[in-house]
């Protein structure tokens, strides 16, 4: 592992432990102490496989917090053929760092509790992260995470809405993880998103995890990286 990668991993570990040991976060999420204990032990022992396992376990636990929907939110999620909260993993965050500058505006489409966007702010502090999410409960938890991490309000914008309705024209980096099943009602979601992206007359980088955008994007966008899990697009 390179020195740069070690530094980024350390930032992620520090950020997740900061969340997991925060008293307000602990009041919202049960059994965090055992995750903290396991990760702390792995750090002391220095075993790479244990460290990776326990880091991902804590990440997944925090990522799923607040995964609840009101009756209206659940109805809309069903109509959109939407997926509930799934962890996008840490590897897209490490890769994204090189494309996020201090002046960048990042939009996470279907942000859940915003953990990915908050970790990106920790890894590469930037002008603003726009967190768009249909679940008000996830946003509530995300605000608690934001406070625990000490990220100022001017750097995070929470939007409680259907992503179809939200303007993303100020963003120059888009993060998305399969918000809807790519069939029936889900097609409407992807068509709406790609129409918004196509009308943005500016350079864009798009990180699409479990990609379903490729079949909807037009020739303005080209793939510069794919590994079967993450597909990255650029629009010059």
Residues 172-222 pLDDT 10s: 999 998 776 766 667 888 888 999 999 999 999 999 998 888 888 998 999
pLDDT for position 197: 93
> In this structure, are residues 182 and 155 in contact, taking their beta carbons and an 8 Å threshold?
no
Cβ neighbours, 10 Å, residue 48: 10
Residues 126-168 pLDDT 10s: 999 999 999 999 999 999 999 999 999 999 999 999 888 999 9
Distance CA 149, CA 118 (A): 8
Domain spans of the chain?
Answer: 3-63, 71-235
Q: Is 63 helix (H, G, I), strand (E, B) or coil?
A: helix
The pair of three-digit structure tokens given for residue 131, joined into one six-digit string: 């967190």
Beta bridge partners of 107: 130, 174
The pTM assigned to this predicted structure is 0.93
Distance CA 219, CA 144 (A): 40
Q: Under CATH, domain 71-235 is a member of which superfamily?
A: Vaccinia Virus protein VP39 (3.40.50.150)
pLDDT for position 87: 79
pLDDT for position 4: 82
pLDDT for position 21: 98
User: Which is nearest to 180 in space by CA: 157, 213, 151?
Assistant: 213
Residue 84, pLDDT above cutoff 80: no
pLDDT for position 1: 64
pLDDT for position 17: 98
pLDDT for position 80: 75
Residues 14-34 pLDDT 10s: 999 999 999 999 999 999 999
pLDDT for position 183: 64
Q: Is 133 helix (H, G, I), strand (E, B) or coil?
A: strand
Residues 90-138 pLDDT 10s: 999 999 999 999 999 999 999 999 999 999 999 999 999 999 999 999 9
pLDDT for position 79: 79
> In this structure, are residues 92 and 205 in contact, taking their beta carbons and an 8 Å threshold?
no
Percentage of the chain modeled with pLDDT above 90: 75
The confidence band for 233, taking pLDDT boundaries of 50, 70 and 90, is: very high
């Amino acid at each position: 592992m390179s020195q740069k990668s070690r530094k980024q991993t350390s930032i992620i570990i520090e950020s997740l432990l900061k969340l997991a040991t925060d008293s307000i976060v602990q009041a919202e999420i049960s059994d965090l102490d055992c995750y903290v204990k396991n990760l702390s032990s792995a750090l002391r022992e220095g075993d790479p496989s244990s460290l990776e396992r326990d880091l991902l376990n804590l990440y997944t636990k925090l990522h799923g917090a607040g995964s609840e929907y009101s009756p209206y939110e659940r109805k809309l999620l069903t109509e959109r053929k939407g997926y509930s909260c799934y962890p996008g993993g840490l590897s897209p965050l490490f890769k994204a760092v090189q494309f996020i500058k201090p002046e960048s505006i990042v939009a996470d489409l279907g942000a859940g509790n915003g953990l990915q966007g908050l970790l990106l702010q920790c890894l590469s502090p930037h002008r603003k992260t726009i967190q768009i999410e249909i679940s008000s409960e996830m946003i509530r938890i995300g605000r608690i995470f934001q406070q625990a991490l000490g990220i100022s309000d001017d750097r995070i914008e929470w939007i409680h809405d259907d992503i179809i309705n939200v303007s993303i024209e100020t963003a120059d980096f888009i993060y998305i993880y399969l918000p809807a099943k790519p069939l029936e009602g889900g097609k409407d979601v992807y068509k709406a998103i790609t129409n918004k992206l196509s009308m943005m007359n500016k350079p864009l980088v798009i990180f699409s995890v479990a990609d379903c955008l490729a079949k909807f994007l037009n020739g303005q966008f080209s793939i510069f990286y794919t590994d079967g899990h993450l597909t990255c697009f650029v629009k010059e």
